[in-house]
Structure 1
């Protein structure tokens, strides 16, 4: 009986592994291709010149939580000052969360530059670091706007991003908009190909586009996304991946999250291997948290949303455990079955190859091996992150603090 149960569980794990990595993307492509996508509406050629329609455009507020971002804050503010959107309909709030460097000072300096004089900028300086979620919960309720954009300091945004988003939000069913995410300097001239992380995000962008065709894209990237301001609800302080929890709670209420490839967020900050592993571990812990707290997205009434959440995010959270079950089960069953022996050897070769690539250095191998290494490493780090969350070791780094410690700095002249 135990042999039969192990066989069934191992085969089920194998089927789910193959489905998540190959079957789901192919099925998603087939389903998305069957649906006729509505062609994007051509944007007016505003070209930074005032237009009659400007008075009717929604008021947009861009909130930028920042912690020790002195290296990127100047480029970020200059980028926002160049966005093609009427200046009287745009607000920018930079929330410095207990920064110990010169983030605020550099922001003030840039705000006085001629190219930034029309940027309606408010700089909030919090003396105590409380974490991103606490800052968002404190800042956003005090902002009066139609559309709310959340963006990282280290990400530059395409100049017509707000025009594109405002056009998309004319559909009352759209509650969230995300764009394409790209890494600056991700191409390696030495090996003639892109990094594994860059390839991964290109793959994820294509998945998001196809998910959107079925009802709603699953998740956004915190580099830049937008929501309707009146749909914001404060988050629990222990939320790990706020850039998933916040938009998907809006989706659970019946709104769509739209992927718009005409909106581009370019990440300037390059993460080292240690930082990348730490980030991916945290994302994995967040994925497990999302599976626990956003079960409402699995309701059959949500149809396409439930399908993509179960096939994508839910299985991604469970994937490290399924891979462990597949490896362990096939190892045990290999004693009595050549099929399971072959299955075990295939897995062993894959993991051994990833280990060798790790030792050699991912940047020194051809891109298929680099992609394989990135995938295997991601699942390994994902296992650590998921276990840490289940054991209560990864519940977010946000700390409660006395809001009286928050001291808003005066706005820039003319705001």
Structure 2
């Protein structure tokens, strides 16, 4: 490689690594200077509404209500199921004793959450998906963290997938833990989180990424978003490649739209929130993958005379092979699964960018009945 080409490759490699290497290490280095504080249990447990938005969840909603009731929460507990234009789910939830709010027509998850928070009987609201299983005392851990002054929401921790996917979620957990030690995190997950009703502002009708919007909206108004890794929930993998691709590209494309709507927070004046947005979300979703693609182009044009370029391309070939093998149901060693997951997420980024540029914001997406 010529000196100029080597410098270009180095610059592109650094750009590609910002979201998944440079930013996480920088946040970790900063967080090490802050002492981790474990939140104690409150002297008196507040009353809580567990809000479960549900659509086509007739087969799992009874188990969900039972899981919430057996979670060990020591205070008063209301289970509120918002059936999003789904009488079947509403009937089953009501038959097992949940309070049910049946919306007359399907409005999408964001608007179901708006209706549920408005109807909640209590000021502390825990949001949880119908197909997720809460680990024991997850509600208590969330509530304890939420009672910290200035905290508007608390993110729980999702355990999903295996191999490369599970490794990625553990990496995300580490990043969120470090962000939270600095003051706030973007990593709110709609599968399990807690919010204060006093801090809630209705989600706009054009927003599909409810959790990301909630986090940014709270931080824009001065609230912190905490992270409680002990509040665990398990969610089964979505399964088929087509379903996973649809969900992940929809989420990423919707996230880019949220950042455009909240673009004021990208300005350096927003401080920590701006740094987290650029490092954790925007660069990782746009400039990083584009730099990665350009780096592949440089490697391909240099492969005939550079061993490093050939090794780089061979690594991508292995990752692509591992990804195809996994989709065909074959067993792949852990390093191959991790490489496949990295490649898959880069591809998802391009799919998400395309959907965002096309204005493809699906508010009521197709989903299989459970």
After TM superposition, the score normalised by the length of structure 1 is 0.79
Offset at residue 229 of structure 1 (A): 0.8
Partner SS state of residue 136, structure 1: helix
Counterpart Cα distance in 1 of 2:340 and 2:321: 9
Q: In 1, distance between residues paired with 2:150 and 2:79? A: 26
Number of aligned positions between the proteins: 360
Give the C-alpha shift of residue 321 in structure 1.
2.1
Counterpart in 2 of 1:314?
282
1:71 is the counterpart of 2:59: yes
Q: Does structure 1 residue 103 correspond to structure 2 residue 81?
A: no
Shift of residue 207 of structure 1?
A: 1.1
Correspondence 1:92 to 2:104: no
1:219 aligns with 2:187: yes
Question: In the alignment, which residue of structure 2 is the partner of 1:412?
Answer: none
Q: How far is 1:76 from its partner?
A: 0.6
Structure 2 equivalent of residue 153 of structure 1: 130
1:325 CA drift (Å): 2.6
Q: Quick one: distance in 1 between partners of 2:8 and 2:260? A: 22
| 1:118-164 CA-partner distances (Å, limit 9, x unpaired) | xxx31122342221122223332233422222110011223323332
CA distance in structure 2 between the partners assigned to 1:151 and 1:24 by the alignment: 29
Whether 1:381 and 2:358 are equivalent positions in the alignment is: no
Checking the alignment, whether the CA contact within 8 Å between 1:94 and 1:122 is kept in structure 2 is: yes
Q: Could you tell me which residue of structure 1 aligns to residue 297 of structure 2?
A: 328
Quick one: distance in 2 between partners of 1:73 and 1:162?
18
Structure label with greater radius of gyration? 1
> In structure 2, what is the Cα distance between the partners aligned to 1:147 and 1:8?
53
Between the aligned partners of 1:178 and 1:226, the Cα distance in structure 2 is 7
TM-superposed CA distance for 1:268, in Å, is 3.9
Separation in structure 2 between the aligned mates of residue 9 and residue 289 of structure 1, nearest angstrom:
31
Change (3 A) 1:295 1:9: farther
1:249, CA displacement in angstroms?
Answer: 1.1
Quote the residue 1:249 is aligned against: 217
3-state SS in 1 of match to 2:62: helix
Q: State the Cα deviation string for residues 89-135 of structure 1 (Å, max 9, x = none).
A: 322210111237x4223223322xxxxxxxxx311223422211222
Per-residue CA deviation, residues 334-377 of structure 1 (Å, 9 max, x unaligned), is: 39x95xx5564344223211221133226511111101101101
2:271 and 2:311 map into 1 onto residues whose CA distance is 36
1:40 paired residue number: 39
8 Å CA contact retained: 1:240, 1:285: no
CA drift of 1:212 comes to 0.8
The aligned residue for residue 47 of structure 1 is none
Tell me, yes or no, if the aligned pair for 2:62 and 2:93 is still in contact at 8 Å.
yes
Is residue 2:12 matched to residue 1:24? no
> Is residue 2:312 matched to residue 1:350?
no
- Gaps of at least 5 residues in structure 1 are 45-52, 112-120, 187-193, 400-415
Q: CA deviation at 1:300?
A: 3.1
Note the aligned Cα RMSD (angstroms).
Answer: 2.7
Q: How high is the TM-score relative to the length of structure 2?
A: 0.87
Q: Distance in 2 between matches of 1:159 and 1:289?
A: 35
Contact in 1 for aligned 2:155/2:227 (Cα 8 Å) = yes
Q: 1:358 to 1:166 in 2, by over 3 A?
A: closer
> Structure 1 CA distance, aligned partners of 2:290 and 2:265?
22
1:293/1:331 Cα in 2 relative to 1: closer, same or farther (>3 Å)? farther
CA distance in 1, matches of 2:151, 2:159: 24
Aligned counterparts of 1:342 and 1:99: Cα–Cα separation in 2 = 59
Relative to 1, partners in 2 of residues 1:21 and 1:345: Cα closer, same or farther, differing over 3 Å? farther
Matches within 5 A, 1:145-184: 145-183=122-160
1:406 matched residue in structure 2: none
Query: What is the SS of the residue equivalent to 1:159?
Result: coil
| CA shift for structure 1 position 261 | 1.4
Hey, what's the Cα distance between the residues in 2 that align with 1:159 and 1:356? 39
**Which residue of the other structure, out of 327, 333, 345, is the alignment partner of 1:366?**
333
Evaluate the alpha carbon distance shift between residue 74 and residue 195 of structure 1 in structure 2; reply closer, same or farther with a 3 A threshold.
farther
Q: What secondary structure, in the 3-state scheme, does the structure 2 residue paired with 1:58 have?
A: coil
Distance 1:72 1:195 in 2: 26
Q: Is the 8 A contact 2:192 2:233 kept in 1?
A: yes
Aligned counterparts of 1:384 and 1:295: Cα–Cα separation in 2? 21
Contact 1:291–1:317 (Cα < 8 Å) also in 2? no
